Amino acid sequence: MAQNSAPDSTPVINTRAGDKSAGTPKITEDDEFEVTSPTNLTFRQSNSGAVPPGTALFGGSAFTEGGSQTGGSLFSRSPFQDPEGEEDEQEGELAPLPGLSAEQGLPTNYALGRRTSVSAESLNPTEAGSDSWSPPHHPKTEEQVSRLKSAVSSNFLFSHLDDDQSMTVLNALVEKPIPAKDIKVISQGDAGDYFYIVEKGNFDVYIHPSGAVQPGPDGLGNKVASIGPGGSFGELALMYNAPRAATVISTEPKSTLWALDRITFRRILMDSAFQRRRMYEAFLEEVPLLSSLKPYERSKIADALDTIKYTANSTIIHEGDPGDAFYLLESGEAEATKNGVSGPVKNYRRGDYFGELALLDDKPRQASITTKTDVKVARLGRDGFKRLLGPVEGMMRGAEYELDSKRSPVSKAA
Amino acid sequence: MVFSKINGNLHHREKQLVESLRHSPRSSNPFLITERQDEKQLCISSRSLHVNDFALVKTLGTGTFARVWLARLKDQKDKDKVYALKILRKADVIKLKQVEHVRNERKALAAVVDHPFITTLIASFSDEKCLYMLLDYCPGGEIFTYLRRQRRFSEEVSTFYAAEITMTIEFLHDVHGVAYRDLKPENILLDADGHLKLVDFGFAKQVDNRETYTLCGTPEYLAPEVIQNSGHGLAVDWWALGILIYEFLIGQPPFWDQNPMRIYEQIIEGRLRFPPNMPAAAQNIVSLLCKTNPTERLGHISGGSTRVKSHPFFQDVIWDDLFYRRVKGPIIPRLSHPADTGNFEEYPDPPDLRNTNIYTEDLKKKYEPLFSDF
Which among A371, A386, A384, A392 has a CA at the least distance from the CA of A308? Answer: A371
- With a CB cutoff of 8 Å and minimum separation 6, the contacts of B52 are B3, B74
Residue A148 pLDDT: 95
The span from the CA of B299 to the CA of A113, in Å, is 29
Looking at CA atoms only, how far is residue B42 from chain A in angstroms? 26
Q: What is the largest CA-CA distance in chain B?
A: 66
Residue B135 pLDDT: 93
Looking at CA atoms only, how far is residue A185 from chain B in angstroms? 20
- Chain segment B305-357, per-residue pLDDT in tens: 999 999 999 999 999 999 999 999 999 999 999 899 999 988 887 776 655 78
pLDDT class of B14 with cuts at 50, 70, 90: confident
Q: Choose the closest CB to A3 out of B62, B142, B260.
A: B62
- Chain segment A154-193, per-residue pLDDT in tens: 899 998 898 889 999 999 999 999 999 999 999 999 999 9
Which burial class, exposed, middle or buried, applies to B32 when counting CB atoms under 10 A from its CB (0-12, 13-18, 19+)?
buried
Higher pLDDT among residues B357 and A369, named by residue:
A369
The CATH code of the domain at A286-395 is 2.60.120.10
Asked if A30 and A221 count as a contact pair (C-beta separation under 8 A), the reply is no
The span from the CA of B68 to the CA of B88, in Å, is 9
Total of domains in chain B: 2
Q: Is residue B354 part of a domain?
A: yes
Which among A151, A222, A155 has a CA at the least distance from the CA of A188? Answer: A222
Q: Is residue B161 part of a domain?
A: yes
Q: Choose the closest CB to B215 out of A89, A107, A239.
A: A239
Asked if B255 and B208 count as a contact pair (C-beta separation under 8 A), the reply is no
- Chain segment B156-208, per-residue pLDDT in tens: 999 999 999 999 999 999 999 999 999 999 999 999 999 999 999 999 999 99
Q: Which residue of A has its CA nearest to B187?
A: A2
Size of interface A-B (CB pairs under 8 A): 251
Asked if B29 and B47 count as a contact pair (C-beta separation under 8 A), the reply is no
Residue A151 pLDDT: 93
Residue A395 pLDDT: 59
- Chain segment B85-123, per-residue pLDDT in tens: 999 999 989 988 889 889 999 999 988 887 999 999 999
Residue A392 pLDDT: 65
- Chain segment A379-390, per-residue pLDDT in tens: 998 888 888 887
Q: Is residue B330 part of a domain?
A: no
Looking at CA atoms only, how far is residue A90 from chain B in angstroms? 10
pLDDT class of A89 with cuts at 50, 70, 90: very low
Q: Choose the closest CB to A2 out of B61, B213, B276.
A: B61
Most confident listed range (B70-84, B142-156, B347-361): B142-156
Q: Which residue range(s) make up the domain with B27?
A: 3-139+337-371
| pLDDT of A70 strictly over 60 | no
Q: Report the CATH number that the domain containing residue B173 is assigned in CATH.
A: 1.10.510.10
DSSP helix/strand/coil, A156: helix
The span from the CA of B255 to the CA of A156, in Å, is 15
SS (H, E, C) chain B: CCHHHCCHHHHHHHHHHHHHHCCCCCCCCHHHHHCCHHHHHHHHECCCCCHHHEEEEEEEEECCCEEEEEEEECCCCCCCCCEEEEEEEHHHHHHCCCHHHHHHHHHHHHHCCCCCCECCEEEEEECCCEEEEEEECCCCCEHHHHHHHHCCCCHHHHHHHHHHHHHHHHHHHHHHCEECCCCCHHHEEECCCCCEEECCCCCCEECCCCCECCCEECHHHCCHHHHCCCCECCHHHHHHHHHHHHHHHHCCCCCCCCCHHHHHHHHHHCCCCCCCCCCHHHHHHHHHHCCCCHHHCCCCCCCHHHHHHCCHHHCCCCHHHHHCCCCCCCCCCCCCCCCCCCCCEECCCCCCCCCCCCCCHHHHHHHHHHHCCC
Q: Which long-range contacts (CB under 8 A, 24 or more apart) does B150-154 make?
A: B150/A86, B151/A86, B151/A89, B151/A97, B151/B251, B152/A97, B152/B248, B152/B249, B152/B250, B152/B251, B153/B248, B153/B249
Asked if A43 and A92 count as a contact pair (C-beta separation under 8 A), the reply is no
Asked if residue B298 and residue B171 are part of one domain, the reply reads: yes
Which among A391, A390, A384 has a CA at the least distance from the CA of A360? Answer: A391
Say which range, A103-117, A285-299, A388-402, has the weakest mean pLDDT: A388-402
Asked if residue B273 and residue B151 are part of one domain, the reply reads: yes
The span from the CA of A71 to the CA of A12, in Å, is 8
Asked if residue B313 and residue B238 are part of one domain, the reply reads: yes
Q: What percent of chain A has pLDDT over 90?
A: 44
Higher pLDDT among residues B357 and B254, named by residue:
B254
Asked if B242 and B285 count as a contact pair (C-beta separation under 8 A), the reply is yes
Q: What are phi and psi of B348, to 5 degrees?
A: -65, 165
Put simply, the answer to whether A107 touches B273 (Cβ < 8 Å) is no
Q: Is residue B332 part of a domain?
A: no
Asked if B71 and B57 count as a contact pair (C-beta separation under 8 A), the reply is yes
Q: Is the dihedral of CA B64, B65, B71, B75 positive or negative?
A: positive
Contact list in A for residue B240 (CB cut-off 8 A) is: none
Say which range, A198-207, A284-293, B247-256, B289-298, has the weakest mean pLDDT: A284-293
Question: CB atoms < 10 A from the CB of B349, how many?
Answer: 6
Q: Which residue of A has its CA nearest to B220?
A: A115
Over residues B57-64, the mean pLDDT reads 86
H or E element, residue A317: strand A315-317
The span from the CA of B167 to the CA of B188, in Å, is 14
Higher pLDDT among residues A123 and B294, named by residue:
B294
Kindly compute the dihedral angle of the four CA atoms of residues A387, A393, A397, A399, in this order, to the nearest 10 degrees. Answer: 130
Q: Which residue of B has its CA nearest to A240?
A: B215
The span from the CA of B228 to the CA of A348, in Å, is 32
Higher pLDDT among residues A49 and A290, named by residue:
A290
H or E element, residue A393: helix A392-395
Q: Choose the closest CB to A115 out of B184, B250, B342.
A: B184
| pLDDT of B141 strictly over 80 | yes
Asked if residue B255 and residue B183 are part of one domain, the reply reads: yes
Asked if residue B180 and residue B266 are part of one domain, the reply reads: yes
The span from the CA of B176 to the CA of B198, in Å, is 15
The span from the CA of A306 to the CA of A327, in Å, is 9
> Which residue ranges make up each domain of chain A?
8-66+121-273, 286-395
How far is C-alpha B299 from the geometric centre of its chain's CA atoms?
20
Say which range, A16-25, A211-220, B39-48, B72-81, has the weakest mean pLDDT: A16-25
Asked if residue B359 and residue B291 are part of one domain, the reply reads: no
Phi-psi region of A23 (alpha: psi -120 to 50; beta: other; left: phi over 0): left
DSSP helix/strand/coil, A179: coil
Contact list in A for residue B335 (CB cut-off 8 A) is: none
Put simply, the answer to whether A2 touches B142 (Cβ < 8 Å) is yes
pLDDT class of B48 with cuts at 50, 70, 90: confident
pLDDT class of A287 with cuts at 50, 70, 90: confident
Contact list in B for residue A70 (CB cut-off 8 A) is: 348
pLDDT class of A259 with cuts at 50, 70, 90: very high
Q: Report the CATH number that the domain containing residue B119 is assigned in CATH.
A: 3.30.200.20
Which among B218, B268, B293, B257 has a CA at the least distance from the CA of A156? Answer: B268
Q: Is residue B331 part of a domain?
A: no
Q: Is residue B232 part of a domain?
A: yes
Q: How far is CA A245 from CA A30, A54, A289, in A?
A: 15, 19, 54
pLDDT class of A95 with cuts at 50, 70, 90: very low
Which among A376, A378, A374, A330 has a CA at the least distance from the CA of A350? Answer: A330
Which among A265, A169, A226 has a CA at the least distance from the CA of A55? Answer: A226
Q: What integer best gives the mean pLDDT of chain B?
A: 87
H or E element, residue A334: strand A334-337
Q: Is residue B328 part of a domain?
A: no
Equal fold, A8-66+121-273 vs A286-395: yes
Higher pLDDT among residues A30 and A6, named by residue:
A6
DSSP helix/strand/coil, A50: strand
Say which range, A74-78, A220-224, B309-313, has the weakest mean pLDDT: A74-78
Looking at CA atoms only, how far is residue A328 from chain B in angstroms? 18
Q: Which residue of A has its CA nearest to B146?
A: A79
Asked if residue B302 and residue B176 are part of one domain, the reply reads: yes
Q: What integer best gives the mean pLDDT of chain A?
A: 75
Residue B254 pLDDT: 97
Say which range, A6-20, A51-65, A136-150, B223-237, has the weakest mean pLDDT: A6-20
Q: How far is CA B97 from CA A241, B93, B101, in A?
A: 11, 6, 8
Amino acid identity, position B217: G
Q: What fold does the segment set A8-66+121-273 form as a domain?
A: Jelly Rolls (2.60.120)
Residue B349 pLDDT: 76
Amino acid identity, position B144: F
Q: Cite the annotated binding site of B for ATP by residue number.
A: 86
Residue B345 pLDDT: 87
Higher pLDDT among residues B142 and A291, named by residue:
B142
Q: Is residue B119 part of a domain?
A: yes
The span from the CA of B63 to the CA of A3, in Å, is 4
Mutate one of B87, B99, B229, B272 to test the A interface: name it (highest A CB count within 10 A). B229
- Chain segment A317-360, per-residue pLDDT in tens: 999 999 889 899 999 999 999 999 888 999 999 989 898 888 87
Asked if residue B185 and residue B83 are part of one domain, the reply reads: no
Asked if residue B364 and residue B295 are part of one domain, the reply reads: no
Asked if A148 and A225 count as a contact pair (C-beta separation under 8 A), the reply is no
| pLDDT of B47 strictly over 60 | yes
Residue A413 pLDDT: 38
| pLDDT of B279 strictly over 60 | yes
Higher pLDDT among residues B14 and A242, named by residue:
A242
